[in-house]
Amino acid sequence: MAIDKETVSYVAHLARIRLSERELDLLSRQLEDIVNFIDKLKEIDILAVKPTSHVLPIKNLFREDKPTKSLNINEVLNNAPSQRDSFFVVPKIIE
Amino acid sequence: MEYQPVIGLEVHVQLNTSTKIFCGCSTEFGSQPNSQVCPVCLGLPGCLPVLNKKAFAYAVKVAMALNCRIAEYTKFDRKNYFYPDLPKNYQISQYDLPLGEDGFLNIRQNGNIKRIGIRRVHLEEDAGKLIHVSDSSLVDFNRTGIPLLEIVSCPDINSPQEAYDYLISLKQIIRYLGVSSCDMEKGILRCDANISVKRQGDSELGTKTELKNMNSFRGVREALDFEIRRQVKLLENKQRVIQETRLWDAQKHMTYSMRTKEEAQDYRYFPEPDLPPFIIDAEMQREIKKSLPELPQAKELRFIQDYQLSEYYAHLLTSDREIADFFEYCVKLYPQAKVLANWMCGSLLAELNSRNLALGELNLSPENFVDLIRLAQEGKVSNVVAKGVLRDMIDTGQTAGEIIQKKNISQISDPDALKEIIDIVIKENEKSVRDYLGGRENAIMFLVGQVMRKSKSKANPKAVLEILRSRLNK
Ligand SMILES: [Zn+2]
């Protein structure tokens, strides 16, 4: 399967990653190799195999609806680049 | 040309657990911004979400009450997108294996029952809250991680009124289950609508638009109504409906295009590796099914059957579980169901509406309510006065007996006590007396009214009528 540069730049956009022309080139070749490698799996007959959504043999892990202590608000905002009145401040979102 | 609207609703309901869906942070409303957050709901690296048992049980309950097929095997998935209200840059939701599918609920349309399909019910986490100020946006993550139930209807809804009835019915069911208040004005319930129109009889659907930003059930109905007229007008003028998201403006009473570059959404769902799958086996299903209360429509039918109530009364009394329970408690104390229903649907619901309060917030016990009705039925107070007494009871918390005694408003039925007033009324209304004696039967009712007024509604109208008749017919 061919991974063209458009596909790579689309995926990069979805992940909010900015790539240079040279990186696009390199990554599209590398991604193509990876996808081709994984394509080998298609040759295996998996009709009788259930899809794996979780690798450990566990299920139904719950917690009770009991409150625990939340973080101290100073800790919460400690790493925020910008804050105001206990809010995080981000660039204006225009809907 | 006749057009038929085709409407599907997507409803989100916050479940009223004490803690968030994947962490122990409180869900309390109105706290200081970002005071109810922890590494899990902030999406800090290295922490693990663990599912709230109650939120899961609540979700299964709703899915069952909506007649869904309950998944034996259900799992969570990551829905990936970037938005500042989403600290992890993905929302934990459910994609291909929702916990409930293929259900329905019934609405009533001109006396007929119409079944609206429920496509799916799934559990997810709420996002944070954004406040837009002049130069920036402020983020509060307290709401992040509150358990949210998404309920998607099939496009079976064919009018704004049906959409409204669907929402009312959905809200009633969920409130009966006690898992959410479903208050749309407070954002506990949110609703988006997909709407298209097609020519009557056409099998092909028209282009749909998605409506957002409605904040009341009435708003949903009005937005749909506007949008149908807008789409029909476009088609009549040989123009096209553009597939887009439109926002409802409740002030201007119109929808307008969001005008964002409509990028195809690509959420790249994949299984949430931090949560195990969930198996809802027969045992768990039985357990949860057992905890389901009698639901509104079943209760309504039972009220009609057991208490011989009209459909109208049964419907009103079962619209809210609290009201239905109050009624049934009262019936045990005073087994005249129709008299009770009349009092509840009339005076009591009017008092609730005028105060904008729920029954539980009123100062009124079923015992005291029944006492008042008994006094009125026995003729100790007139019906008009009794309504005022009810108001006083709610205001003061006193019993009917206390209020009647203190205000000296017992009904007067004693002929001797009434004689004086009746004499005066006969003297003051000679013309009506003549009319009555001349054969105008109705004139006597005017005289009764005058006696009632003079007695400040305390006279027993039946007794007054009798006395007047015997006096005038002499
Ligand atoms: Zn938390």
pLDDT of B261: 59
Mind telling me how many Å the CA of B6 is from chain A's nearest CA? 27
pLDDT value at position B362?
Answer: 84
Structure token pair of residue B84: 């500042």
Task: State how far the Cα of B232 lies from the Cα of B247, in Å rounded to an integer.
Answer: 18
pTM (2 d.p.) = 0.85
The Cα B223–Cα B231 span in angstroms is 12
pLDDT at residue number A83: 95
Q: Please state the ipTM of this predicted complex.
A: 0.90
Task: Tell how far the Cα of B41 is from the centroid of ligand 1, in angstroms.
Answer: 4
CB B337 within 8 A of CB B370: no
pLDDT of amino acid B77: 96
* A34: helix, strand or coil: helix
Host H or E run for residue B58: helix B53-65
The terminus-to-terminus CA distance of chain B in angstroms comes to 72
User: Residue B147's closest chain A neighbor by CA?
Assistant: A65
Record: contact A63-B52, CB cut-off 8 A:
yes
- Tracing tokens 């040989």 back to the chain, one arrives at B238
DSSP state of B433: H
Domains and CATH numbers, chain A: 5-42 (1.10.20)
Query: What local confidence, expressed as pLDDT, does residue B460 receive?
Result: 82
- Domain at B415-473: CATH code: 1.10.10.410
Find the A67 Cα to ligand 1 centroid distance in Å: 10
C-alpha pair distances (Å), B148 with each of B75, B133, B279, B350: 15, 27, 20, 33
Single-letter amino acid code for the residue at B293: P
**Do B262 and B271 touch, CB atoms closer than 8 A?**
no
Nearest to B37 among A53, A66, A76 (CB): A76
> What are the tens digits of pLDDT across the range A24-70?
999 999 999 999 999 888 888 888 888 777 888 899 999 999 999 99
Beta bridge partners of B412: B459
What's the one-letter identity of residue B183? D
The alpha carbon of B30 and the centre of ligand 1 are apart by a number of angstroms equal to 16
Contact B278 A76 (CB under 8 A): no
According to CATH, where is 1.10.10.410 located in chain B? 415-473
Going by pLDDT thresholds of 50, 70 and 90, the confidence category of residue A1 is low
Q: What are phi and psi of B462, to 5 degrees?
A: -65, -45
Q: In a 10 Å sphere around its CB, with 0-12 CB exposed, 13-18 middle and 19+ buried, how is residue B460 labelled?
A: buried
Mutating which of A71, A75, A77, A94 best tests the B interface, going by the most B Cβ atoms within 10 A? A71
pLDDT along chain B (474 residues), means of 10: 92 98 95 96 94 97 97 96 92 97 91 93 97 93 97 96 96 96 93 94 88 95 96 93 92 86 78 95 93 94 95 93 94 93 91 87 89 87 84 87 77 80 88 88 88 82 86 79
Answer yes or no: do B53 and A62 touch at CB < 8 A.
Answer: yes
Question: Smallest Cβ distance to B19: which of A67, A71, A90?
Answer: A67
Q: CA-to-CA distance for B365 and B326, rounded, in angstroms?
A: 9
Nearest to B239 by CA among B248, B227, B230, B251: B230
* Interatomic CA distance for residues B103 and B64, integer angstroms: 8
- Partners of B84 on chain A (C-beta within 8 Å) are 88, 90, 93
